[in-house]
Amino acid sequence: MNFDYSETQQMVAEAAKNFAIQYVKPYVMEWDESQFFPVDVFKKAGELGFMGVLVPEEYGGSGLGYHEYIAIIEEISKIDPSIGLSVAAHNSLCTNHILQFGNETQKKKWIPKLATAELIGAWGLTEHNTGSDAGGMNTTAVLDGDNYVLNGAKNFITHGQSGDIAVVIARTGEKGDSHGMSAFVVERETEGFLAGKKENKLGMRASETAELVFQNCRIPKENLLGELGEGFIQSMKILDGGRISIGALSLGIAKGAAEAANQYSKERVQFGKPISKFQGISFKLADMATKIEAAELMVHKAGYLKNNNKNMTQMGAMCKMYASEICVEIATDAIQVFGGYGYTKDYPVEKFFRDSKLCTIGEGTTEIQKLVIAREVLK
């Protein structure tokens, strides 16, 4: 096996790093404090090809694979995980759902605009009463002539207020029936499509999270993605790939926190020597490096499987679960290395700590990943 980055991967990673340093780093804490979602920054990311990473060039995308995609999310997340999260959600959820399951007319209509961030994408599965139990959703879509009429609400939706277009999963059959849900594209200007409450979050505060509300929202039946009743099945396949995104995001957080702790440990002097010379600190750094190495291998293995159209359900769940859990552990240990300063907003590790927890929850909790893994290994 070749573990070296290709020349393309190196170039892409460098471009993402430079983008994050120039357009994100100066404003990280300002955006975090004000919960500001910097739409213009995502437009810039679109110009650089970061909003359509996996989209073929024929649809205006970058035409890259999952290894390059992982590198982009990782590099941005090392600077600000909330921006990395939004880039990941736009790519892997909304855009990828239309790309994977839309017909040619639908793809030509929406994908080029999503790939350049002319349109910001959202993806709606979760509801107030249905988190892990997505099959129990209450949002309905009822056919009325040439339109489907949507009623209900989705919550915890990335870009719920600012998204220009959303892929929404709604019930078109019996509750609890895995073939009783369908996927639809809903454009922002559609009457009856409203933005609801914006969440006031612990972390990832520059990544907008809000409700989608549908009040007799009429959408053309041409906006149905794939066949009627396939929405839930499609969503599970989208989440398989999406877990690579969270793995990459987690990897970026872990690396960002570890690098900050490593650097600080060399600069901070106690008892006449840098604290990195003390075994208690050096062992923490050794543990961080080992966990990162393992997580990186798992995330890229999942990316390899995805690139080659191989079954990656188990590895996707494994990489997401492991990387998200170790990024919380590493962010926690990084604060410990910084001591009291780590608890202040003058240093980056307290933000990595707050941002990290979302990774163990979003796109399937750690507990859901264990269910998926157990189901696969017991087949």
Q: What is the DSSP string of 11-61?
A: HHHHHHHHHHHHHTGGGHHHHHHHT---HHHHHHHHHTTTTSTTS-GGGTS
74, 75, 350, 363: the catalytic one is 363
The alpha carbons of the chain give a radius of gyration, in whole angstroms, of: 21
Candidates 333, 319, 328; CA nearest to 357 is 328
- Report how far apart, in Å, the C-alpha atoms of 276 and of each of 251, 271, 332, 360, 362 are: 23, 12, 17, 29, 34
Is 68 in contact with 8 (CB distance < 8 Å)? Answer: yes
- Report how far apart, in Å, the C-alpha atoms of 173 and of each of 25, 47, 143, 177, 233 are: 47, 41, 11, 7, 14
Residue 371: how many CB atoms within 10 A of its CB? 13
> At a CB cut-off of 8 Å and minimum separation 6, what does 276 contact?
262, 265, 266, 282, 285
- Report how far apart, in Å, the C-alpha atoms of 248 and of each of 211, 290, 307 are: 26, 16, 15
296 flagged as catalytic = no
Is 221 in contact with 143 (CB distance < 8 Å)? Answer: yes
Tell me, what DSSP letter sits at residue 226? S
Token readout for 309 is: 């159209």
Query: In angstroms, rounded to a whole number, what is the distance separating the alpha carbons of residues 231 and 154?
Result: 15
In sequence order, what are the beta bridge partners of 141? 150
Q: Is the dihedral of CA 139, 215, 190, 165 positive or negative?
A: negative
Candidates 36, 237, 248, 226; CA nearest to 125 is 237
What phi, psi does 14 have (nearest 5°)? -65, -40
Q: Which residues are catalytic?
A: 363
